[in-house]
């Protein structure tokens, strides 16, 4: 399940149109600010065009953790090409592990090696993306002067921020609903507990 990431100055967030309840955190999408809901939330639910429920977050810099809201995994510092390659061909490699085919025919291993070599070569030759080039051309035509040039270089050298998070899903089994013992099945986002004892979503970041 893919979820768009919303960025504020201090957080990366996943938000939802779900009902906001007392004790939740809400995002004011007009002001891009987060607030704890410690009052009757009916007004916020009526203004669903402005207020959204925060369902996962990642503090940036020294921002405090939003208690009771699941964390997003830490962002990767720089590009770990080995990890990228493993993610790219994970499904293909897994299919060989689960089959009776001789592992020698697991071509995903060769693809991982080729991915890493190609990635490193491309990174040597192409430092910036097409979007970066557009930013540079806009700066050129707008002639923002020396300060604008320095701001541009600083922005281009910052790591790109992910746009989405793909949650792993797991079956939450079944439970009884009422006296008729109606059984319901479904999926929910998979979570884990990190080394600090905090609930964290399981999944991967995407740039779409």
Residues 155 and 171 in one domain: no
Do the beta carbons of residue 71 and residue 203 sit within 8 Å? no
pLDDT of residue 33: 95
Pair 59, 8 in one domain? yes
Q: Are residues 119 and 189 in the same domain?
A: no
Instruction: Tally DSSP H helices, then E strands, for the chain.
Output: 6, 12
Query: What pLDDT, on a 0 to 100 scale, did the predictor assign at position 42?
Result: 95
DSSP 8-state secondary structure symbol assigned to residue 71: B
- Inter-residue contact 187 to 170 (CB < 8 Å): yes
3 and 64 assigned to the same domain = yes
What's the distance, CA 34 to chain centroid? 18
Q: Are residues 92 and 135 in the same domain?
A: yes
Which residue range forms the structural domain that includes residue 24? 1-74+162-208
Residues 69 and 166 in one domain: yes
According to the model, what pLDDT value does residue 158 have? 58
- Token pair belonging to 15: 């938000």
pLDDT at 208: 77
Contact 38, 82 (CB under 8 A): no
Do residues 54 and 34 touch, judged by C-beta distance below 8 A? yes
Question: What is the predicted pLDDT for the residue at 207?
Answer: 80
* Same domain for 42 and 94: no
What pLDDT does residue 130 have? 61
Same domain, 70 and 132: no
Position 206 scores a pLDDT of 87
pLDDT of residue 22: 95
Regarding whether 151 and 175 lie in a shared domain, the answer is no
pLDDT at 162: 87
Same domain, 94 and 194: no
Contact predicate 26/44, CB 8 Å: yes
CA atoms within 13 A of residue 44's CA, in its CB half-sphere: 26
* Weakly modelled stretches of the chain, pLDDT under 70: 76-160, 173-185
* pLDDT of the residue at 35: 96
Check: CB of residue 5 under 8 Å from CB of residue 162: yes
Same domain for 178 and 152: no
Helix, strand or coil for residue 35?
strand
Residue 75: predicted pLDDT = 83
Q: Does residue 105 sit in the same domain as residue 115?
A: yes
Split into its structural domains, the chain has a count of 2
- Read off the pTM: 0.61
184 beta partners? 175
């Amino acid at each position: 399940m893919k979820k768009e990431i919303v960025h504020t100055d201090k957080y990366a967030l996943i938000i939802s149109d779900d009902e906001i309840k007392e004790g939740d955190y809400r995002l004011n999408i007009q002001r891009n600010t987060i607030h704890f809901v410690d009052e009757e939330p009916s007004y916020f639910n009526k203004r669903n065009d402005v207020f959204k429920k925060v369902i996962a977050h990642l503090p940036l810099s020294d921002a405090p953790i939003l208690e009771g809201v699941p964390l997003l995994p830490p962002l990767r510092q720089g590009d770990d090409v080995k990890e990228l390659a493993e993610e790219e061909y994970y499904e293909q490699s897994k299919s060989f592990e689960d089959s009776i085919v001789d592992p020698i025919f697991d071509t995903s291993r060769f693809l991982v090696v080729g991915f890493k070599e190609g990635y490193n070569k491309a990174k040597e030759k192409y430092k910036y993306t097409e979007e970066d080039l557009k930013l540079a051309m806009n700066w050129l035509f707008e002639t923002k002067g020396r300060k604008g040039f320095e701001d541009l270089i600083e922005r281009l050298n910052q790591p790109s921020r992910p746009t989405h998070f793909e949650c792993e899903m797991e079956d939450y089994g079944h439970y009884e609903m009422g006296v008729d013992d109606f059984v319901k099945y479904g999926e929910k986002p998979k979570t884990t507990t990190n080394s600090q004892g905090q609930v964290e979503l399981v999944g991967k970041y995407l740039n779409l």
